[in-house]
Structure 1
Amino acid sequence: MLSISKDKIDSLFELIGSKQPLYLPVDNNAGTADFQKWEKGTKFSSALKTVRSAKDFFFPKTEHMVSYQMNGQEVKVEDPRKDVEDFVIFGVRACDAKGFECIDGVYLNMNPVDSYYKNRRDHGTVIVLACNEPAKTCFCTSYKIDPTLASPAGDVSCWLADDKYYFQANTEKGKAFVENAKSVLADAADSAVEAVKKDIAAKVEKLPFAHIDLSKVGDVKPEQMMKIFNSKVWTKVSEACVGCGTCTYVCPTCMCFDVRDFKTNNGIRQIRCWDSCMFNDFT
């Protein structure tokens, strides 16, 4: 395991950011944090969660898919895809990293593979940071997500313990990251990490939703689906909904999209954009 002092973390960011694009949580003017590209002077936010999920890096809000250029009866198809340069996302939480698995299941593990999504996944290195101070509203363990990162999550697992950041590579991309950062990292024992894992686990165990029963959702049999779908509880829950779709946009597992065509001076530009099942005209 390798480590770097908390007060020297900027030297790691500068080293990585000088070689490839690096994104990390940064405080904004609204009093929250969001992922931003690292630049000289950028300060890493200590906020537990960012406003938006890191899924944006692999499944962007809008994406140019194809263009059709027309010259009389002649139609020329233009593929705008280009190889994405390697990039690093630092500070992703375990719950967001778990969300990638859900989207991967649809866009990578089904036929056909979504080449637009795969292009970004292949080039992105995800560094997952353990949650030293989980929020009272967290319920990760109910979904078998480990905030202590005892199970590998992301390409690199990272912990903050004894004022040091500790790193453990989990994949080939993770090993490449550690290799690139070796000049500012030092070998370290994992005793401090084991101690902080136990501390995080103890805090999570006391959270209000640590043992919430999800059996009615997770273990539903097909013949029970319509009964749940038609339950009167949704009528009450939906009374406060204005159909803005924000809940699905910030959700790390939402992957719905619409495809729209826009007319240009000499052809058609086809765009994929996020959609939401909460919109009344969905599908």
Structure 2
Amino acid sequence: MFKLPIDKLNDFFAAVSASASLYMPVDGDDGRASYKKWSEGVTLSKALNTVRSAKDFFFPQTENLCDFNRNGLNIEIIDNRTESEDFVVFGVRACDARSFTILDKVFLVDPVDSYYATRREHGTIVTMACTAPEENCFCNVFGIDAAAPEGDAACWMTEDALYIKANNEKGEKFIESVKSLLTECGSEAVEAQQNETKAIMEKLPFAGISTDYFRKNTLLDIFNSEKWAKLSEACLGCGTCTFVCPTCQCYDIKDYDTGHGIKRYRTWDSCMYSDFTRMAHGNSRNTQLQRFRQRFMHKLVYFPDNNDGEFGCVGCGRCLSRCPISMNIVKVVKTFGEE
């Protein structure tokens, strides 16, 4: 465990940015936090969560995949990737840090998504423990400890100091790059903060939610439940929940004729949209009920069935705060849990 005096925080950020691009949560004009590149004068936000998660750094909303140039019958494929710089994402919360475990199981299995893999190789995730979890938080339901976040390195901030420790080899390399500013210390202050945070988590409204129903019942029993009709009837199909979710990974691939060739790119998509996975004969999920059910079946049934029981949700609470009709995964879990 290492310690940095809080009045040296700006020097710490400057040292990090000297060898890698540094991104951190920064308050916007609307009072909400988003990740911005650090430069002199930029201040770290104290907000619990950013509007969108750190997923964007590794799986961006839109990215170019390749270009095609045609010369007669010859087609040239141009790899236009430029993701080669090292970068650090600082201040990632425990829920968002866990999301990378989920995304890795999608993008780093065969066939490996080389675009995602390259960014994961060059990116270092430095997490920040939570001290004031909010009412929408329920990461503990999925076995996530807000007071002991994962990531390459983890931080705890008190009024007078920043405490940091490495969680893996990449984290050790990160700490080594700023070690001249740090001093070794004990963990007493961190443990005291962790105990306070855990006490808060235990009192939050969703702390006692159980996912046992989805472990004990069969896929078909859950899929055919009559509860989906009632749960989905108010859904607008706007897709907001999928675009703020740190674990959603659906995308579409499109080709654009530039007039000088073809540019292939991918962009986020949403299972809540009526044209999602549309095929030549139409769409296999024609109703909002079917699309609503697909989203939550994937998070609570399909993904855990194929990934050793790990759910596809990290309890960040973004969908709770952003859904315009207040329908979210917590209501789904609680509704089925009533049985």
Which residue of the partner structure matches residue 29 of structure 1?
Answer: 29
Which residue of the partner structure matches residue 90 of structure 2?
Answer: 90
* AA partner of residue 118 (structure 1): A
Q: Does 1:212 align with 2:209?
A: yes
Q: TM-score, normalization: structure 2? A: 0.79
Secondary structure, counterpart of 1:69 in structure 2: strand
Q: Does 1:260 align with 2:254?
A: yes
Which residue of the partner structure matches residue 120 of structure 1?
Answer: 119
Q: Which portions of structure 1, spanning 4 or more consecutive aligned residues, are displaced by more than 4 angstroms?
A: none
Q: Report 1:72-151 matches (<5 A).
A: 72-108=72-108, 110-149=109-148
Identity across the alignment (%): 48
Which residue of the partner structure matches residue 43 of structure 1?
Answer: 43
How far residue 162 of structure 1 moved from its aligned partner, in angstroms, is: 4.9
Q: Does 1:199 align with 2:196?
A: yes
Which residue of the partner structure matches residue 234 of structure 1?
Answer: 228
How far residue 87 of structure 1 moved from its aligned partner, in angstroms, is: 0.4
Higher helix content, 1 or 2: 2
- Please give the per-residue CA displacement for 1:13-51, whole angstroms capped at 9, x wherever unaligned: 111112211000000011110111101100000000100
How far residue 229 of structure 1 moved from its aligned partner, in angstroms, is: 2.7
* AA partner of residue 282 (structure 1): F
* AA partner of residue 163 (structure 1): D
- Please give the per-residue CA displacement for 1:111-139, whole angstroms capped at 9, x wherever unaligned: 11110000000110001111011112211
Which residue of the partner structure matches residue 244 of structure 2?
Answer: 250
Question: Structure 2 vs 1, CA of residues 281 and 230 (structure 1 numbering), >3 Å: closer, same or farther?
Answer: farther
* AA partner of residue 7 (structure 1): D
Q: Does 1:57 align with 2:95?
A: no
Q: Does 1:225 align with 2:222?
A: no
RMSD: 1.4
Which residue of the partner structure matches residue 163 of structure 2?
Answer: 166
Secondary structure, counterpart of 2:181 in structure 1: coil
* AA partner of residue 96 (structure 1): D
Unaligned runs of 5+ in 1: none
Secondary structure, counterpart of 1:24 in structure 2: strand
* AA partner of residue 247 (structure 1): C
What is the distance in 2 between the residues matched to 1:220 and 1:265?
56
* AA partner of residue 234 (structure 1): W
- Please give the per-residue CA displacement for 1:239-264, whole angstroms capped at 9, x wherever unaligned: 33222211011111100110001012
Secondary structure, counterpart of 1:183 in structure 2: helix
Which residue of the partner structure matches residue 271 of structure 1?
Answer: 265
Q: Does 1:175 align with 2:169?
A: no
Question: Structure 2 vs 1, CA of residues 117 and 2 (structure 1 numbering), >3 Å: closer, same or farther?
Answer: same
Please tell me whether the aligned partners of residues 67 and 267 of structure 1 are also in contact (alpha carbons under 8 angstroms): yes
How far residue 273 of structure 1 moved from its aligned partner, in angstroms, is: 0.6
How far residue 237 of structure 1 moved from its aligned partner, in angstroms, is: 2.9
Higher strand content, 1 or 2: 1
- Count of residue correspondences: 277
What is the distance in 2 between the residues matched to 1:205 and 1:256?
33
What is the distance in 1 between the residues matched to 2:233 and 2:74?
53
Secondary structure, counterpart of 1:273 in structure 2: strand
Structure 1, 266-275 or 118-127: larger mean CA deviation: 266-275
* AA partner of residue 201 (structure 1): K
How far residue 83 of structure 1 moved from its aligned partner, in angstroms, is: 4.6
What is the distance in 2 between the residues matched to 1:6 and 1:243?
45
What is the distance in 2 between the residues matched to 1:206 and 1:54?
27
How far residue 153 of structure 1 moved from its aligned partner, in angstroms, is: 0.6
* AA partner of residue 145 (structure 1): I
How far residue 84 of structure 1 moved from its aligned partner, in angstroms, is: 1.8
How far residue 187 of structure 1 moved from its aligned partner, in angstroms, is: 1.7
Secondary structure, counterpart of 1:131 in structure 2: coil
